Structure 1
Amino acid sequence: MKRRNLLNYAAIATTSAAALAACSKTAPNTSSPIASPSQPIIQWRMATGWNKSLNVVFGAIDRFCQRVGHATNGRFTITPYEAGEIASALEILDVVSAKTVECGFTAGYHYVNKNFAFGLSTAVPFGLNAQQQNAWLYYGGGLEALQKVYAQYGVIQFPAGNTGAQMGGWFTRKVNSVADLEGLKMRIPGLGGELMKRLGVDVQAMQGTEIFKALESGKIQAAEWVGPYEDEKLGLDRVAPYYYYPGWWEPGTMYEIQVNQAAWDRLPKEYQAIFQSAAVEANLTMQAQYNAVNGEALERLALKGTKLLPFSEEILRSAQKAAFELYEETASKDATFKAIYEHWKTFRTQVYSWNRINELSFASFAFIQEK
């Protein structure tokens, strides 16, 4: 897929032309690619890694499915299923690859044990934030590079949501230094977990629904989830008083729709265009909703007594050093990862330099000013 054409499909009837234009090199076509009655009736199932109670992330994919249905006059329908109904949160890629279902909604970093490059599709420690990830995927060649990797598993993937920068998690005791992390039992998955291991943490694997009881019972002393809104819904503020930031392991967590390649190839071109446009909309609106609700939730948590604490510079510097040591080690052993990583690293350097001038200079002044 050529990135200059990625968003030429962007104007389905129910999608905001203004929002999509912000991501497109050319103004979107205002005519709607509504499917004609001659198009086939197609019904797909979608396995997801989340439950309906997580209304932002599950709500985004539910709206995506509705968009596709509306834009095709009900001729192409996709039904999303909660985690566990078809597959667990960590099995989505497997069931899509095997065509147990036609598509799934998940995060690529759940599958780094299959291919380390999948982490770059979602978020890696000290990597790209949400805006930078969009830039790399849509206009920096990242999506084409990653789709070549996914093709090895019979899958094509599309960005479809972002949490923005996440929080650093809940702790039952303060951690002021790397020494304080030694032996700490913490629920943290993925690459963040791998790096925490290198810093001495006893990393525990568990589903999100298990975190509250594990903290309450003392089975673990720390856990990360998403951000204020989702964390408050799990009640984590009731079992751990210290809420650390930033979530350096997930500076902009990108979720994706994975589609079985053979199923995708059989779709009419109009359906493919509608599908891609709806995915772009989901990608944009999920982060917008998270920014809105997280601000409100953080204020509530602070009023209830949650203590917001930054990770120390010692911890951040040690984690950053460990992160890039891991990437370089992996690149030296894995040619596929090395090719994408070198491309990603060059883009990261360039966009960091630009955002240091435009974004950071503004934020460093404006965000700390009191009214």
Structure 2
Amino acid sequence: MRRRHAFIAGAGSALASAALAAPALAAPALAQTAPAIRWRMTSSFTRTLDITYGAGEYFCRQVAALTDGQFQISQFPAGEIVGGFQALDAVQGGSVEAAYSGLLFNVGKDPTFALAAATPFMMNPRQQHAWMYHAGGNAMLNDFLKTYGMVAFPCGQTGNQWGGWFRNEIRSVDQLSGLKMRVAGLAGTVMQKVGVVPQQIPPGDIYPALERGVIDAVEYIGPYDDEKLGLNRVAKNYCYPGWGEGGTVFHAVFNGAKWAELPARYKAAVETAAQATTLNMMAEYDAKNPEALRRLVASGITLRAFPNEVVEALYRASVELYGEISARNPAFKAIYESQVAFRDLNYQYHQVADFQFDAMMLRLRRRS
């Protein structure tokens, strides 16, 4: 009996010792699967633009929360590390690990970049998200970005952007000739075909350029951000529809070599955080743009629809441009044709679904 008690006591002591030792043995394994990583992310936006810059901050917070604080990404505003339009250069060169940007800012490198963000007369936000997440869009875009040593994920959505601010009312295509306009992406190239002199100006420099008369017109995002920039204080004609950007996707962009080093758990956190940021940004714009538009109208600006003549001329110019680029750029051609096929099929559905619902509600609201 005494020997049995001694055996049980000894076994209990051994088990207790093993239990105490277990955490110490597991700790190195945990450290290997969840290492502490600190990255820098440069933004194409200034802090003044609280939704676009704030979306990057939101993304960073979500990544940290999903990794128990082990993966921290710190965002820096445009101009603090590099200028807003140099964000991708910094990622590609490895001076930062990540960037928060609109890829359409890089059409000077390759017009294919615009297809990742927004192109004239193409897809609306619903179509963009469906194409990217469920029709192979993300994979096609990342195959293209791989040639630049980068990988990116949709991480923000502005919704439909407005047509822009003009000092003078636009009544005809002829009035566009010689007009100096800040306009991003391929929309600028399309406008150039009808006589506009497009200007690529970072968001932080737009207001001074308009105020000093360096430019005659501006296309930025929409009522909330345009009010933030004070564009209504200089130009009084606010035009629609936003033909140039039916919806604009922003991206979290990463250096390809650094991305490959991340644990799978951190990569999953990034993709999840990016999707959450996309939904959150669009919801915030949908909540704040209507309020901002009401304030802008009250301030004395005039809402003006582009004449059909102008819209049709711009549409013809865009189709011509896409044909020209496709003839010399296989990457652009493949992604563009995929988007067109998806857009056209999608519109066949929505012309008897969402479009009819919206038209019905607008008609009924006017009657009530």
TM-score higher than 0.5 here?
yes
CA contact (8 A) 2:45 2:203 kept: no
2:245 to 246, 250, 275: 250
1:309 to 294, 304, 307: 304
Deviation of 1:36 after TM superposition, in Å, equals: 5.4
SS in 2 for 1:367: helix
CA contact (8 A) 2:190 2:317 kept: yes
CA contact (8 A) 2:117 2:248 kept: yes
1:64 maps onto 2:59 in alignment: yes
CA contact (8 A) 1:49 1:92 kept: yes
Aligned to 1:205: 200
Aligned to 1:120: 115
Letter in 1 for 2:90: V
Partner Cα separation in structure 1 for residue 238 and residue 163 of structure 2: 7
1:194 to 189, 194, 212: 189
Structure 1's unaligned 5+ residue stretches are: 1-34
Letter in 2 for 1:103: A
Partner Cα separation in structure 2 for residue 317 and residue 101 of structure 1: 43
1:354 to 329, 338, 349: 349
2:161 to 166, 187, 197: 166
SS in 1 for 2:75: strand
SS in 2 for 1:309: strand
Aligned to 2:284: 289
Aligned to 2:101: 106
CA contact (8 A) 1:36 1:72 kept: no
Structure 2's unaligned 5+ residue stretches are: 1-28
| Number of residue pairs aligned between Structure 1 and Structure 2 | 337
Greater CA drift, 337-346 or 157-166: 337-346
Deviation of 1:154 after TM superposition, in Å, equals: 1.0
Deviation of 1:210 after TM superposition, in Å, equals: 2.9
Q: Deviations over 1:56-107 (max 9, x none)?
A: 1111110111111122121110000001111211111111111111111111
SS in 1 for 2:152: strand
CA contact (8 A) 1:173 1:242 kept: yes
Q: Deviations over 1:314-368 (max 9, x none)?
A: 1111111110111111111112221222222111111121122212112223225
Letter in 1 for 2:261: R
Asked which structure has the greater CA Rg, the reply is: 2
Partner Cα separation in structure 1 for residue 187 and residue 108 of structure 2: 14
Letter in 2 for 1:83: A
Partner Cα separation in structure 1 for residue 110 and residue 198 of structure 2: 21
Greater CA drift, 98-107 or 218-227: 218-227
Alignment of 1:318-357 (within 5 A): 318-357=313-352
Partner Cα separation in structure 2 for residue 127 and residue 36 of structure 1: 47
TM-score (normalised: structure 2): 0.88
Partner Cα separation in structure 1 for residue 67 and residue 186 of structure 2: 39
Q: Deviations over 1:123-165 (max 9, x none)?
A: 0000111111000000011111111000111111100001000
Distance 1:36 1:320, change over 3 A: farther
Letter in 2 for 1:305: G
Q: Percent identity?
A: 40
SS in 2 for 1:250: coil
Alignment of 1:46-195 (within 5 A): 46-195=41-190
Q: Deviations over 1:291-313 (max 9, x none)?
A: 11101000111112110011111
CA contact (8 A) 1:107 1:254 kept: yes
Partner Cα separation in structure 2 for residue 219 and residue 46 of structure 1: 31
Partner Cα separation in structure 2 for residue 334 and residue 220 of structure 1: 31
CA contact (8 A) 2:41 2:100 kept: yes
Deviation of 1:37 after TM superposition, in Å, equals: 5.4
Q: Deviations over 1:210-258 (max 9, x none)?
A: 3323333333221111110111111111111110011211110000011
Q: Deviations over 1:249-303 (max 9, x none)?
A: 1110000011111111111111111111000000111000011110100011111
Partner Cα separation in structure 2 for residue 114 and residue 212 of structure 1: 26
The root-mean-square deviation of aligned C-alpha atoms, in Å, is 1.5
TM-score (normalised: structure 1): 0.88
Partner Cα separation in structure 2 for residue 217 and residue 337 of structure 1: 37
